[in-house]
Structure 1
Amino acid sequence: MNNLSDEVKNNIINGLSEAEVQERVEEGLVNRSTITTGKSVKEIILSNTLTYFNLIFLIISILLIYVGSFRNLTFLPIIIGNTIIGIVQELRAKQILDKMNIINAPHSIVIRNRAQEQILSENLVRDDIILLTTGNQICADAVVMEGTVQVNEALLTGEADEIEKTTGSKLLSGSYVVAGQCYAKLEHVGNDSYITKLTAEAKAMGNDEQSEMIRSINQLVKWIGIGIIPIGALLFYQGYVVNQETMQKSIVSMVAALIGMIPEGLYLLTTIALALSTMRLAKRHILLHDMKSIEALARVDVLCVDKTGTITETRMEVDEFIKSLTNQELSITEDPEQLLVDYAFSMANDNATIHAIKEYTEKLNINVERRKPINIIPFSSTTKYSAISFEDGNFVLGAPEFVMREDYNTIAPEISSYVKNGHRVLVLGKYSGSNMKDGLTDKVVPLGYIVLTNPIRENAKTTFSYFKEQGVTVKVISGDNPETVSEVAKRAGIENAERFIDAGTLNTDRKLADALEQYTVFGRVTPKQKQLLVQALKNAGHTVAMTGDGVNDILAMKDADCSVAMASGSEAAAQAAQVVLLDSDFAHMPDVVLEGRRVVNNVQRSSVLFLVKNIFSLLLALLSLWFSFTYPLEPSQISLISMFTIGIPGFLLALEPNKKRIEGHFLKNVMLKALPAGLTDVLAVASLVICGQVFSLPKNDIATASTMLLAVVGFIILFKISEPFNRIKYGILIFNIFGLVFCGIFLNQLFAISEMSKICVLLLIVFSFAAESLFRYLTILIEKLDELYSRIKHRKK
């Protein structure tokens, strides 16, 4: 602080007083944003009530009340119940996530009342003096008061280069400190900060980064929403004008068709499934910043991991310090051990490596007068070294390949045995040049080698074994020596870990893409290269997850389909990731994968049930328009079928464990399974209606027989998608059959179930057996057509 004015020094030393803080709090100058990416309580309630389909339900309810058809309002309790359940589950999930976010909320070291204290970043006020060190995310717009830091603003500007910030430089909120340490004064906080304004713009534009499942469901709902209004109008016109039906009958028939076309429970099912998964993961200390990450991680086929903090524990230990045998050019008075002590004492304790070295040097008990640093260059993940200037020379500490460069082969024999055993080795050397900031261009004479080790995580082997069984390829991407990383990866049980390469040799996109096919371990990877590796994997058609815990991982994490951070790592990485392991236990990764599979597979299976009804109602409505017959079913009958063949079994099946690997695209998978049942329904019911007209059967008989026929086909498809069966699935099937029979017998008036004539019963039996055969053959036909299409598509490629 020697070059600073007295006023600035006092500001840094004193900070704000309690009275000054309170004054700013009263003025609203607090670093608390009212703009959030998550839903507020109000937004959750409104998003579940003020929906397009709820508006449709309100309109058709008014129409049914208008014509006095109160019995056909049976869908209303289901809709109201769906809405309430959806609100309650989302609020419960929000409550749990809010509590976890508080635990994982960013903290800052602030100077107040002449003392340092750590507080939540949202409790900072304008003009607060904060201390920023490596790994911190800058929480508000600020100006550097004292010190020098290297900052990465890639998350804000897209510029990946590290920018040096010195006294007077502006710091943008949302950027993060890569190296160094400084005191900064907050200028713009809360809603006035740069990151908050960006967040507001992003929120106003909407979120296009939806998961495939949500995107597919939105597509379905969109097209159904567009189609139901004109179809409804045409059905009413046909019934009332063309077929000369009464106003009541025309409206009831139209409403029945529309209810059948609306997937009223599909959104609710998806919302509840995601909310329950979020809560289940929360109990395992897994925080989701983004619920779409559940699906993304469940689909992952390539997992990129960093060595430190993922394969190994975050803590680092110095095993030993070895004096170099090649330092003959130095005077005999040079003491490498003393230099190491002075070096460690001068560096800020802002990363795990320096922390480990400091712990080691404290045990050496060297108490002579220490050198005073003239200039300090903090460690950078780009240059792979740090540097200090003392009166007797310039010294560097870093990765041997980067520090020694073309002279690396001269020291390789001294350190090769340590590298091969999985140790990390740093070289401490004297630099003959003067400028160390922009890279080392002159000779470095090695003084000694620091041998460090990270203990491999206890459950690493089990975790990587799981991913191997699931067909997930693991790529290790690290800034350390590739041979060292390879050895660590082998001990962790990663398949093909002996295939390693130095990323410094991958200087073209073609080399990068080729290396990804051949190698498992990538060493000496820069932060930008990590990002390029992830992009190359995605361009090759892979679904990529990236795990990390340091600021050098953030660019790659932001580009991955799913990003996972350890809470024990840098604050910036934890805030940038979609998934945060709060206890930093990598063994939880299979839990997230399995939870994602449960959600996607179960929602996919249940969506088939909903889509069957939609396909049937749409096609039957079109057939009734084409052949000019009135839609044969009533809304109460559709509600009965929906309840016991779709709604209840769909929700119960969505809660069941499901470890099956996700394959194919959501919409295609759902359509392939729903189409045979939907076509079976419409062909069987349309044939029954035509036969009923031939035999001059009462319309009530035809409607009841159609309802029962839909129930039969509904349970056939339910049986099909529930395979393989277990006790729970048998229980679900029996419960719903019993429920439908009970309502058909004891609540027959409510659901418009009337007695059928003998001819009608006979037709029902015949068409039920025919429907089973039709469904079976249509399923085989559609599967064959899909295989043929896939072969043709593959040949074209």
Structure 2
Amino acid sequence: MAKFSGLTNDQVLKQEEMGHVNKAVDDQAKTDWQIIKENTFTYFNLIFLILAILLILVGEFKDLTFLPVIIANTVIGIIQELRAKRVLDKLNVINATKVTVIRNNIEQEIPIENLVLDDIIVLKTGDQIPADSVVLDGSLKVNEALLTGEADEILKKQDDDLLSGSFVVSGKAYAKLTKVGKESYVSKLTLKAKEMNQKEQSEMIRSLNKLIKWVGIIIIPLGLALFAMAFYVNHHSIAESVTSMEAAIIGMIPEGLYLLTTIALAISAMRLAKNQVMLHDMKSVETLARVNVLCVDKTGTITEPKMAVTSFEPINIEKDKLFELISNFAQSMPQDNETSKALGAYFTSNRETADHIIPFTSVNKYSGAVFKDKTLLVGAPEFVLRNQFDEYKSKIDSFTSQGYRVVAFAKYPQALKNENDPLTQEVELLGLILINNPIRKNAKKTFKYFAKQGVEIKVISGDNPLTVSRVAKEVGIAGSEKYIDATELNKNNYDEAVKKYNVFGRVKPEQKRYLVKALQKAGNTVAMTGDGVNDILAMKLADCSISMASGNNAAVQASQVVLLDSNFAKMPEIVNEGRRVVNNIERSASLFLVKNIFSLLMTFFTLAFALTYPLRPTQIALISAFTIGLPSFLLALENNFSRIRGKFIPNVMTRAIPGGITDMIAVSVLVIANQVLDLGRQEVATTATMLLIAVGMMVLYQISAPMNKYRVGVFIVSFLCLIFAIIFAHNLFALSKISMKAIFLLVVLFFAEVTAFKYLSKLADGFQEVLNIYSQKGSKTTIGELKLAYKKADR
């Protein structure tokens, strides 16, 4: 292979001055200014600004109490996201993908972003091509699936073009960069490889976006209608009309919900980062928390990635002679994969060098070294022996049943020219090499955790299925005895295979994708772990992809979650973190939506009966602060690792609707009663505030159940804050003394609220249980199962 001197320092500097640097456009990263801008200049912040200006113009300064909460929410969101960005930026720098480049006649590793136009790079098996380039010398087999979706391995020789975003399956070559930065595919590399663009959001974020979008659409016309009703129909003053309209609009806006979600995800990403887990996308932690099928490889996940030769068995040849032949082979091969490294470390007596080599490919599953008129082959016994395999099957199975990976060493009677030359003649089997991967220390404990959580494990490996099954059984994977050789599968039986088997051996890269697709078709949320180029196609398709940092660069770039210390035992921790976030956000979202549902229903009620909205903005701020904001923040700090059931919106709405309807009924009765009792607007507003506080505390109690010391503490703190605000800050929140008539009405409506809320909550619980059962079984759910689920929840 030719030798190149590469660019000099002066030439590199000149290219940098011209801007010919391989700086990728990273659509995932945000600048500090973008974070500040996105948290400050929001649609709802604009609405709040307009509302504040209107209150100032009419002189109702007391009702500006919502502003400190909005400002605090915005500032906290900016600070938390900036902190998370700092931590993740440091990790991205530390774990930046590097490439081998030749400069000043010296090979060196530099980050991809430091490459310049005309740089000469060295590409080998497992590398991802960092920029558009042309092969100067050598040959590669390249998979362009990340760009084209086609999984075919394409041979690239001298003068052939290479596209950034593709990855090297086998071979070694020198290449010259022809297009860098914005001029090449590298600016889209992250999005192409990981397939994580803005359209692919988690269920929770997608649901929140829809909710906030619809709220944003309806508040403007409703606000104008409320003002018109109060001013033109009910003949209130401009000040009264503005305050009543604003109270309704502020009540409908879930001002802290999206912010709480962003902060919770940012804190989770930061917490995981400190524990050697890097998220390429913060939202992937939620997806992983919802996973019910986890696909893992044997090597690198269940076992340590490093291989070691345990022993070798001669077949019709002396052991010393076999050792010498394997040594000649091992020392002639480039040690660019774990099998080659293991052979090179064990077989060290080199007396003859190969004329040329046949690189390993995931299609052939063997590699070769050509010596004069013969070729020595090392690879999977089924692929090396082919029709002769049955002759040695029992011997091979005896070793695989002990957990060894068995590699065949054979002599082919012809000199193969390249990896595309088919094996047309019989081989002479010279020996079997026994290789072992030590099982990871905490593997058994990790899989036990997933078994308890109801997460099904599918082991998908390129190794012998019997070997994989044995290892899977050793670490306690359920159903490990149900294994199959993937060579027996075809496109028509994957759907049945994923239901019947838990261990798949001799799996090719394309087949891994078919298996993931079949699992998803069956209604599963699938996570895929991997550390090699043969895992990328499946990782790309999976709902969540996890890679080991010890794996190749292409796998790391293609994944959503990277285990920086390559420790699979971190997986339960990641799942728990995701569950903590989702469960706490669901709980907090229910609190927020009670107020939003009430305000929306109350707005329609007042418009339908030509009434004025009964509350003031400052009173809505009081309710929001101590029955929603404070408890939401405190509850979000609690560990909550319960399994996630059902969909986000149904889960949230079934908890929020009972409280929202109860609020609306109670305040509507109060407003109607006022037509007879003539309490006055101030008394009605104060009484309505007390009713809403009572329902808010009931909802807080319900979503906190079952109560523990921490949740009881949150409940008491929120209640005491309300009492303090009512007694010592009643003027600030426009609360006045109420008459005996109002007190009597308040007591009667409170007990009615308790009954109504209890009944509506039972209905909602039953409906939610029905939804959960249906979401699990779909159209296969029977009417009897739905009735049983409803009755169970009703009890």
Matched, 1:641 2:619: no
User: Who is 1:414 aligned against?
Assistant: 395
Check if 1:351 corresponds to 2:333.
no
Match of 1:24 in 2: 15
Alignment of 1:737 onto 2:719: yes
Matches within 5 A, 1:15-94: 15-94=6-85
Summarize the alignment of residues 91-102 of structure 1 with structure 2, pairs less than 5 Å apart: 91-102=82-93
Name 1:392's counterpart in structure 2.
373
Match of 2:792 in 1: none
Counterpart of 2:688 in structure 1 is 706
Q: Which amino acid aligns with 1:455?
A: P
Aligned with 2:672 (options 690, 694, 712): 690
Residue 140 of structure 2: aligned partner: 149
Partner of 2:469: 486
Shift of 1:579: 0.3
Distance 1:721 1:95 in 2: 34
Q: CA deviation at 1:203?
A: 13
- 1:750 maps to 732
Which residue does 1:6 correspond to in 2? none
CA distance in 2, matches of 1:203, 1:380: 23
> 1:25, CA displacement in angstroms?
1.7
The superposition leaves residues 267-311 of structure 1 with CA deviations (integer Å, 9 ceiling, x where unpaired) of: 111001101111111121000001121111101110000000000
Match of 1:505 in 2: 488
Counterpart code for 1:110: V
Alpha-carbon distance in 1 for matches of 2:103, 2:548: 30
**Aligned: 1:471 with 2:454:** yes
Structure 1: distance between partners of 2:579 and 2:397: 44
Q: Percent identity?
A: 54
Deviates more, 1:395-404 or 1:191-200: 191-200
1:777 matched to 2:774: no
Which one of the candidate residues 312, 324, 327 is aligned to 1:338?
324
How far apart, CA to CA, are the structure 1 residues paired with 2:246 and 2:402? 73
- The separation in 2 between residues aligned to 1:333 and 1:648, in whole angstroms, is 75
Q: Tell me, yes or no, if structure 1 residue 278 matches structure 2 residue 259.
A: no
Shift of 1:436: 5.6
CA contact (8 A) 1:136 1:570 kept: yes
CA distance in 2, matches of 1:757, 1:156: 73
Q: Deviations over 1:499-521 (max 9, x none)?
A: 11001101133x21111111111
- Match among 625, 650, 656 for residue 607 of structure 2: 625
Residue 707 of structure 1: how far off its partner (Å): 0.4
Asked whether the 8 Å contact 2:354–2:369 carries over to 1, the reply is no
> 1:229-268 counterparts in 2 under 5 A?
229-268=220-259
Task: Give 1:117-132 correspondences, 5 Å limit.
Answer: 117-132=108-123
Secondary structure of 1:466's counterpart equals: helix
Larger mean CA deviation between 339-348 and 606-615 belongs to 339-348
What's the CA shift string for 1:684-706, capped at 9, x where partnerless?
A: 11111211221110110110010
| Match in the other structure for 1:676 | 658
Distance (whole Å) between structure 2 residues aligned to residue 278 and residue 424 of structure 1: 38
Q: Does the 8 Å contact 1:180/1:348 carry over to 2? A: no
Query: Greater shift after overlay, 414-423 or 236-245?
Result: 414-423
Q: CA RMSD in A?
A: 2.0
Q: Offset at 1:236?
A: 0.7
Kindly indicate whether residue 170 of structure 2 is the aligned counterpart of residue 193 of structure 1. no
Kept after mapping to 1: 8 A contact 2:549/2:562: yes
How many residues align? The count is: 777
1:491 Cα deviation from its structure 2 partner:
1.0
Q: Name the SS for the 1:530 alignment partner.
A: helix
Supply the distance in 1 between the matched residues of 2:387 and 2:195 (Cα, whole angstroms). 53
Structure 2 distance, partners of 1:284, 1:76, is 37
* CA distance in structure 2 between the partners assigned to 1:220 and 1:367 by the alignment: 69
Q: Which residue of 2 aligns with 1:309?
A: 300
* From 545, 569, 587, the counterpart of 2:527: 545
Deviates more, 1:411-420 or 1:760-769: 411-420
2-structure distance, mates of 1:394, 1:117: 34
Q: Which moved more, 1:723-732 or 1:465-474?
A: 723-732
Residues 37 and 203 in structure 1, CA contact (< 8 A), matched pair in contact too: no
Equivalent residues in 2 for 1:756-775, closer than 5 Å: 756-775=738-757
Amino acid aligned to 1:726:
N
SS in 1 for 2:151: coil
Deviation at 1:440, TM superposition (A): 2.4
Residue 5 of structure 1 corresponds to which residue in structure 2? none
Between the aligned partners of 1:66 and 1:367, the Cα distance in structure 2 is 91
Identify which of 428, 440, 443 aligns with 2:423: 440
**CA–CA distance in 1 between the matches of 2:79 and 2:207?**
25
Offset from partner CA, 1:393-426 (integer Å, 9 cap, x none):
1222110011111210112233222111111111
Unaligned runs of 5+ in 2: 786-795
Q: Could you tell me which residue of structure 1 aligns to residue 4 of structure 2?
A: 13
- 2:722 and 2:194 mapped to 1: Cα distance? 45
d(CA) in 1 for partners of 2:520 and 2:25?
Answer: 35
Q: Which residue number corresponds to residue 431 of structure 1?
A: 412
CA contact (8 A) 1:181 1:348 kept: no
Tell me if structure 2 keeps the 8 A contact 1:111–1:130. yes
SS of the counterpart of 1:632? coil
Q: Deviations over 1:190-224 (max 9, x none)?
A: 22221315769999996111101001111111111
Q: Does 1:165 align with 2:156?
A: yes
Paired amino acid for 1:352: E
Give the partner amino acid of 2:55. L
Q: Provide the rounded CA distance (Å) in 1 between the counterparts of 2:744 and 2:371.
A: 101
Q: Residue 560 of structure 2 corresponds to which residue in structure 1? A: 578
Structure-2 change in CA distance of 1:784 and 1:314 (3 Å):
closer
Q: For residue 524 of structure 1, what is the aligned residue in structure 2? A: 506
Shift in Å at residue 119 of structure 1?
A: 1.5
Please state whether the residue corresponding to 1:780 is helix, strand or coil.
Answer: helix
Structure 2 CA distance for partners of 1:367 and 1:650, relative to 1, 3 Å: closer
Q: CA deviation at 1:788?
A: 6.3
* Contact 1:692–1:760 (Cα < 8 Å) also in 2: no
**Matched residue of 1:13: which SS?**
coil
Superposed displacement of residue 672, structure 1: 0.7
SS in 2 for 1:74: helix
How far 1:109 sits from its partner (Å)?
1.4
Query: Is the Cα–Cα contact under 8 Å of residues 502 and 524 in structure 1 kept in the other structure?
Result: yes
| Equivalent-residue separation in structure 2 for 1:339 and 1:177 (angstroms) | 29
Q: Contact 1:53–1:264 (CA<8 Å) still a contact in 2?
A: yes
* Alpha-carbon distance in 2 for matches of 1:205, 1:420: 41
Retained in 2: the 8 A contact 1:387–1:436?
Answer: no
Q: Distance in 2 between matches of 1:440 and 1:85?
A: 66
Question: How has the CA–CA distance of structure 1 residues 54 and 416 changed in structure 2, closer, same or farther, with 3 Å as cutoff?
Answer: same
Counterpart of 1:555, as a letter, is L
* Unmatched 5+ stretches in structure 1: 2-8
Amino acid at match of 1:431: Y
